[in-house]
Amino acid sequence: MVTRTAGPDVDTTRVAVSTVIFSLRRDPADDRPAVVMPLVRRTRDPYEGLWALPGGWLDLSESLDTAASRTLGETTGLAPSFLEQLYAFGAVDRSPSRVVSIVYWALVRPDEAERAAAEENVAWFDTADLPCLAFDHREIVDYALWRLRSKVGYSRIAHGLLADEFTLAELREVYEAIYSRRLDPANFRRQVENSGTLIPTERFRTGSHRPARLYRYNREVELADRGPLTHSESSRS
Amino acid sequence: MVTRTAGPDVDTTRVAVSTVIFSLRRDPADDRPAVVMPLVRRTRDPYEGLWALPGGWLDLSESLDTAASRTLGETTGLAPSFLEQLYAFGAVDRSPSRVVSIVYWALVRPDEAERAAAEENVAWFDTADLPCLAFDHREIVDYALWRLRSKVGYSRIAHGLLADEFTLAELREVYEAIYSRRLDPANFRRQVENSGTLIPTERFRTGSHRPARLYRYNREVELADRGPLTHSESSRS
């Protein structure tokens, strides 16, 4: 029999699950989208008062994928369609007790992010202007941003931040937000048109500018979106 | 205080570390290399007598990277230069007790694989002809093979299976072994020469065939070899 103490066992490694969630928010100042993420303010020690990634402990009866979805829902009310394992963080000194964190990452569209219930102690931050984070969460966020930047180049994950139909300018703004730099509109248009990954629709976005054609992703094109495992793991859980 | 029992705690999740190691072995029948991996025969339950990935339990005082290196050395005597985290496996029913396995993958050159001490209960297997594996290790191996095939296309990891200098035929054979199909030699030569990733040397491989020029990788070319994290994690441990 194991006798439980009130605090964490000093000679046990515990498993936690956390999620880095990215979305886009249009900056009212320049009307351009920025990459934003939700953080949860810690209400107890360690690091009480600091901001941390949404997450929680792994339950004995749930898979890692299930724990990621559950803890994300409990802390932020979000249920993203793209939720992928990012990395396991297990440095000895990353927490006062020994904790291995399996970190997931997720993308949510701006309208989903807005719909998400405004949970207590949750706030969205521009990734270019983050507050001081608890534990090694700053290192985790930096790694997730690196993964986002590398992956957006060879997959259609930008789609996770857009509606089903979008203009080329809207797609370009997603890339600009992720890469933190402006892209030449004509070059961008040529590249995506040559890639074969977009299908033009007969619909147009109208508004204050001249009408812009709406596009959607060509799902026939094989892209390195997700490994074979994400599918098999999630079908099991 | 926690009182330890002899067996695994029934209400605790334990963390294990395992490693998938790939190397090449030339098949005497057709003199072509095949992708091979070492497996360890289990000497106790569960799955006694079946083959499993090298690995062991995470110690409280070591990082995940350190645990991967240690358990790999203890079980196989190998110390690969390329050792990268692959994925965390945590399905509820993957073991009789609750175990989350942080899986690493490694590449070792054929001469390193041969130098490795022939440890008891360790044998090398052709990945195309694996025996029955314990736990979910077959699923893990399949995922690692998928990662190897995707990553060899956009990084210089094939280098991890070759000597510092190699002929184009030797490099092509690595790709052929990983993709499990023959590649056209003239097309292959054109592609790698155009990629700028190889530097021709003034040395030649001589033997039964006509002399073949030796090449080495151009380390100036930026390739998506490893994330920023592998570096920061390993410098910490």
pLDDT for the residue A234: 36
pLDDT of the residue at A153: 76
Instruction: Average the pLDDT over each of A9-13, A73-77, A108-112 and give the range with the smallest value.
Output: A9-13
Span A61-90, mean pLDDT? 93
What is the CATH number for B56? 3.90.79.10
Is residue A27 over pLDDT 80? Answer: yes
Phi (first) and psi of residue B203, to 5 degrees:
-105, 155
Cβ contacts of B232 on chain A, cutoff 8 Å: 139
Packing angle, helices A137-154 and B228-236, rounded to 10: 150
A150/A164 same-domain check: no
Q: How many other C-beta atoms can be found within 10 angstroms of the C-beta atom of residue B112?
A: 16
Mutate to test the interface with B, among A15, A66, A101, A226 (most CBs of B within 10 A): A15
Residue A7 belongs to some domain of the structure: no
Q: What is the pLDDT of residue A210?
A: 85
Among the candidates A127, A155, A183, a domain finishes at A155
Q: What pLDDT does B166 receive?
A: 93
The values of phi and psi at residue A157, to 5°, are -70, -15
B37 and B146 both lie in a single domain? yes
Q: Which of A88, A154, A228 sits opposite B146 (nearest CB)?
A: A228
Is residue A151 located within the same domain as residue A169? no
Residues A145 and A180 in one domain: no
Looking at the domain assignment, is residue A228 inside a domain?
no
CA distance, residue B88 to nearest chain A CA (Å): 7
- pLDDT at res. A119: 74
Query: A90 vs B100: CB contact, 8 Å cut-off?
Result: no
Q: Does B142 touch chain A (CB under 8 A)?
A: yes
Q: Taking CB atoms and an 8 Å cutoff, what residues of chain A touch B15?
A: 13, 15, 90, 100
CA nearest to B71, candidates B19, B136, B119, B10: B19
Identify the sign of the CA torsion A218, A220, A223, A229.
positive
* A98 contacts B60? CB cut-off 8 A: yes
Would the CB atoms of B2 and A1 count as touching at under 8 Å? no
Q: How far apart are CA B163 and CA B171, in angstroms?
A: 10
A191 found inside a domain: yes
What would the mean pLDDT of A129-140 be, rounded to a whole number? Answer: 96
pLDDT tens string A146-199 = 999 988 876 778 888 988 899 999 999 999 999 999 999 999 999 888 888 899
Residue B217 belongs to domain spanning: 165-225
Mean pLDDT along residues B126-146: 96
Residue A1 placed within a domain: no
Q: How far apart are CA A151 and CA B147, in angstroms?
A: 15
Alpha helices in B42-182 (DSSP H): 64-76, 110-115, 137-154, 168-179
Looking at residues B70-82, what average pLDDT do you find? 88
Residue B122 neighbours by CB distance under 10 Å:
18
- Considering only alpha carbons, which residue of chain A is nearest residue B92? A63
- In this prediction, the answer to ipTM > 0.85 reads no
Among B4, B5, B15, most A C-beta atoms within 10 A, so best to mutate, is: B15
pLDDT of residue A117: 60
Residues in chain A: 237
Which residues does B124 contact at the CB level (< 8 Å), separation at least 6?
B23, B25, B36, B37, B38, B39, B113
Residue, of B10 and A203, whose pLDDT is higher: A203
Q: Which residues fall within 8 angstroms of residue B38, CB to CB, at 6 or more apart?
A: B21, B23, B54, B76, B78, B113, B116, B122, B123, B124, B125
Asked if the structure places residue B231 within a domain, the reply is no
Residue B117 sits in the same domain as residue B209: no
Q: Is B233 domain-assigned?
A: no
A82 and A168, same structural domain? Answer: no
Question: What pLDDT shows up at residue B37?
Answer: 95
| A40 contacts: CB under 8 Å, gap ≥ 6 | A51, A52, A53, A54, A75, A76, A121, A122
Q: Cβ A64–B11 below 8 Å, yes or no? A: no
Do B190 and B150 have their domain in common? no
Which residue, B132, B154, B176, sits at the end of a domain? B154
Chain A environment of B146 (Cβ under 8 Å): 227-229
Measure in Å the smallest separation between the Cα of A107 and chain B Cα atoms.
20
Surface of A (43-62) touching B: CB under 8 A = 58, 60-62
How many other CB atoms sit within 10 Å of the CB of residue A136?
17
- Average pLDDT rounded to a whole number, residues A201-222: 85
- Co-location of B145 and B201 in the same domain: no
Q: Does A153 touch chain B (CB under 8 A)?
A: no
Q: Residue B166 carries which DSSP code?
A: B
Cα distance between residue B37 and residue B108, in whole Å: 10
Asked if residue A165 and residue A118 are part of one domain, the reply reads no
A236 touching B, CB under 8 A?
Answer: yes
* Residue that finishes a domain, picked among B154, B187, B203: B154
B87 touches chain A (CB under 8 A): yes
Determine the Cα–Cα distance for residues A163 and A113; give it in Å rounded to an integer: 12
**Following DSSP, what letter does each residue of B3-31 receive, concatenated?**
PPPSS--TT--EEEEEEEEEEEEEETTTT
A77 alpha carbon, distance to own chain's centre? 14
User: Which residue, among B18, B19, B95, B102, would best test binding to A if mutated, counting the most A CBs under 10 Å from its CB?
Assistant: B102
pLDDT at position A156, please?
77
Q: Please report residues of A whose CB lies closer than 8 A to that of B14.
A: 13
In a shared domain, residues B170 and B150:
no
Distances (CA, A) of A191 to A199, A201, A225, B191: 14, 18, 19, 22
The answer to whether the Cβ–Cβ distance between A233 and B146 falls below 8 Å is: no
The predicted-structure confidence for B174-223, as pLDDT tens digits, reads as follows 999 999 999 999 999 998 888 888 999 999 998 877 899 999 988 776 55
Number of folded domains that form chain A: 2
The answer to whether residues A92 and A208 belong to one domain is no
User: Is A117's Cβ below 8 Å from some Cβ in B?
Assistant: no
Q: Decide if A2 and B9 are in contact by the 8 Å CB cutoff.
A: yes
Residues B32-52 have pLDDT tens digits of 899 999 999 999 999 999 999
Best mutation target, B4, B100, B146, B231, to test chain A (most A CBs within 10 A)? B100
Q: What is the CATH number of the domain that holds A195?
A: 1.10.10.10
A235 touches chain B (CB under 8 A): no
Out of B9, B63, B142, closest to residue A90 by CB: B63
CB contact under 8 A, B102 and A98: no
Residue B149 and residue B174 in one domain: no
Q: Is A88 part of the contact surface with chain B (CB cutoff 8 Å)?
A: yes
Per-chain mean pLDDT for chain B: 86
Residue A224 counted as domain residue? no
| Assigned domain for B51 exists | yes
